Structure 1
């Protein structure tokens, strides 16, 4: 059997394979009223299709732990029981289709309260449902985004407790894993990066100060979910400033390697490696199939827990090669699963001769050509 389709056990959970659906924002949740932040029929079909298609872990997109922590008003949330109740039947269906289900918990910080990307750019005006975002420091992402309010000590406590409460509700809804979103320029990444954290108190300054909030969130989530539930953490391994030759203090791979060791010490079970997102002034120096794998490999070298990778992973041989070469322990697949929900089944047919999980109603489509 291929490595890609061997199980991976994290604490008390065994994931049936190592092809996982990456969390991808759909901006399609209910946006107002009592159902704000709740998943809709769109999410039911979106997530269940990928579960039926053979993904070992279906990861629900960025889900706000507080109303002001949503990337947009159309983001999912998990700050109340109605949202947990709306998630439960979707999680149950994905389970019945053979997948494990995770949820990515997030606070967007200064990148919160924006338009849906196909409707506009930057911060949504208050009269259209937007709000003033909060962040480590009062620094706007760009000219289209509002200047955030610098967080107080009470705001920081509220964020920690928001993650804790959302993790509890995730378990009540039946989720198997919880991922903390610490990447892509959202709040926890904003605290880590010296580009966005200019605080002079205990929550900023030195490396130890800047990673204090992310570690406090990990501790709160770990405590809430107990000893058997896997906790994942998504990192941005670099701000891409060093790689772009920009001589400005930023978040780098070396800092991420140090941070990864602390995440392991604080009870994280897998580090999900991505890059970038904290500043519009720098972009990846090269973009192509597997362009972020080298960062996952660099982190895997210094930790004793599994690492996943993401970034234009588009075919079975490429994904299998990442695992065979020891560069990562699982692959997060995004755009390819949007194009084809049944990509994991096709990949297993290519590597192992046939899919181990495929709806009986669809088997006349086999073998895949």
Structure 2
């Protein structure tokens, strides 16, 4: 195909923006290689287009998910459960009957398919049946079909230790995290260590409670001269649905947020892991996010979204309703630098929230100053360092 987009100008962004439209559609995911974007629409079309020339290169039907391997090669999954290399058309058939949700690749470029029956990896099915309260990761397929199926995660992240994070957005009811160890091939969840006794009856209740907690979980809590450390993934400071996870030098930046009447955002750093995988955490919310203080009651006034690391300068960036920001770290202190703010539409789709959902769900850098971002209502945005184009 050799189709071109139509263009209209948009003046609301903090930088000049224009809309480039032909399909009038939105997208659920994308990958980008150089100037070429491979985007999957909500109706399962793969649209391949050139950011710089505003030109559609190819359209493919019945594509469920797209991924990118370590060689910067595009691989996609279709409705026939075929994993296909975009460049040479090489096909790998999945012979397990399932409804696929998402394709990702491990560090060796082996495919992992998230599906309605669980994870398909190494031609085997893996389900979290060994996990306590595993029912929270299953749902009824439909009103007509009462079959229980594995739920599609809201965010997926593979870290450097081959741990797959599958996170679920429960709105006002918080979040759930399911981990899958690709080497051990087993599921597990995060765990909050606690005791049931009522320590508030004691004058030194908090100290007594913590001492008893250490005695009860000696293999999960470590107290050093300066810090209290927890064994990963115990006591993770996750309180809201996760919007983004970035790993830098073995440390994890995690953004969390929701709107339920009010904004509730939390930004944390999980860091300083030792050889036994004990870690400590740092609350970065006040360092980055806007705080309002009505009548002496401090509240976060910034709806926090996804994170991304810029491989061209090794800096972490985040998105919020205030715009895109670069995180600046200097001798253990953190600050931020404003990049630009896109004026794009918002909507409320999460039945467990009373308010808007985040309107940018992913972004990726193609150079130090150029980024591509996925919106929920305005297609795919491309910021070239001075202006924005929206492909919809």
Whether TM-score is above 0.5 comes out as no
Structure ID, larger Rg = 2
Of structures 1 and 2, the one scoring higher in RCO (CA 8 A, sep 6+) is 1
Give the TM-score of the pair, scaled to structure 2.
Answer: 0.28
TM-score using structure 1 length: 0.29
Please identify which structure carries the higher helix content: 1
